[in-house]
């Protein structure tokens, strides 16, 4: 295993106005999504905390337009936040309805992020095409995994990411962690 923990300070960042509006307006879309029984489960992260982490990590990127990828992007908020901070940003999401919702929010806010429908697990039949190629481009990968996926995702990051890539994980309330591929 060549993935090492990274210490980061997370001073709360003053939310830019456009981020406040994005979070306010999309909170409703998320409630609608979660309230509809026909939809599959989706659990949103604490987006303010994740935004703080993105701001703390942005200066550590060594290229002018770093590439951000979210595995399991839900309604796409974190990918949209990363794009608004100057990352070239994409999300991979298994549920087509969530991908449609993400694309619609991106259009509404005119944020240039890409959402790909499929699985980030290469062994799945729904696996995204060119997954390995996409993952090799990444400078920061973000994931909020289901509990039963945590170990597999860590292992996958170790196999797919190039050296120097950061991994930002959200594990639940107040729990964000950062790692780096050696
Ligand atoms: C806990 S939610 C997190 C959503 C979002 N990342 C966030 O931080 O708010 C996990 C998401 O991962 C998606 N997901 C689970 N397994 C996946 C897979 N193999 N490929 C793509 N998406 C997946 C689920 O559909 C769900 O939207």
E strand or H helix at 142: strand 140-143
- Give 102's DSSP letter: H
Q: What is the pLDDT of residue 12?
A: 86
CA of 164 to the centre of ligand 1 (A): 24
For a ligand 1 pocket test, name from 68, 72, 101 the mutation site with the most ligand atoms within 8 angstroms of its C-beta. 72
pLDDT over threshold 90, residue 144: yes
Model confidence over 91-138: pLDDT tens digits?
999 999 999 999 999 999 999 999 999 999 999 999 999 999 999 999
DSSP β-ladder status, 166-172 and 67-71: unpaired
Question: How many domains does the chain divide into?
Answer: 1
Check which CATH number belongs to the domain holding 88 and give it.
Answer: 3.40.50.150
Which pair of tokens denotes residue 142? 């973000």
Give residue 43's domain range.
Answer: 3-7+16-181
In the numeric block, which tokens belong to residue 24? 């306010």
CA distances from 21 to 6, 27, 28, 30, 135 (A): 31, 10, 12, 14, 31
144 lines ligand 1 (CB under 6 A): yes
* Chain segment 53-85, per-residue pLDDT in tens: 999 999 999 998 999 999 999 999 999 999 999
Give the tens place of pLDDT for each residue, 145-177: 999 999 999 999 999 999 999 999 999 988 999
Q: Check pocket membership of 161 for ligand 1, CB cut-off 6 A.
A: no
Q: How many angstroms separate the alpha carbon of residue 14 from the centre of ligand 1? A: 27
Q: Over the stretch 25-51, which tens digit does the pLDDT of each residue have?
A: 888 777 777 777 676 677 889 999 999
Note the pLDDT tens digit of each residue in 83-102.
999 999 999 999 999 999 99
Name the average pLDDT for the chain.
93
Spatial contact of 182 and 162, defined as CB atoms under 8 Å apart: no
For ligand 1, atom 15, name the residue with the nearest CA: 72
Atom of ligand 1 minimally distant from the CA of 73: 6
**What pLDDT is attached to residue 35?**
75
Distance CA 101, CA 164 (A): 32
Q: How does 84-111 read in b/e, with b if 16+ C-beta sit within 10 Å?
A: bbebbbbbbbbbebbbebbbebbeebeb
């Amino acid at each position: 295993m060549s993935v090492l923990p990274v210490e980061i300070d997370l001073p709360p960042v003053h939310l830019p106005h456009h981020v406040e509006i994005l979070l306010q307006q999309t909170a409703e879309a998320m409630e609608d999504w979660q309230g509809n029984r026909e939809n599959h489960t989706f659990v949103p992260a604490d987006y303010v905390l994740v935004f703080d982490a993105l701001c703390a990590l942005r200066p550590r990127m060594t290229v002018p337009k770093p590439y951000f990828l979210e595995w399991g992007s839900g309604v796409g908020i974190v990918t949209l936040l990363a794009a608004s901070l100057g990352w070239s940003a994409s999300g991979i999401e298994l549920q087509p309805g969530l991908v449609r919702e993400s694309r619609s929010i991106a259009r509404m806010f005119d944020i240039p992020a890409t959402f790909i429908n499929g699985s980030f697990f290469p062994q799945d039949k729904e696996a995204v095409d060119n997954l390995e190629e996409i993952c090799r481009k990444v400078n920061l990968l973000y994931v909020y995994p289901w509990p039963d996926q945590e170990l597999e995702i860590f292992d996958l990051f170790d196999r797919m990411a190039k050296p120097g890539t950061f991994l930002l994980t959200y594990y639940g309330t107040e729990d964000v962690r950062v790692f780096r591929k050696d």
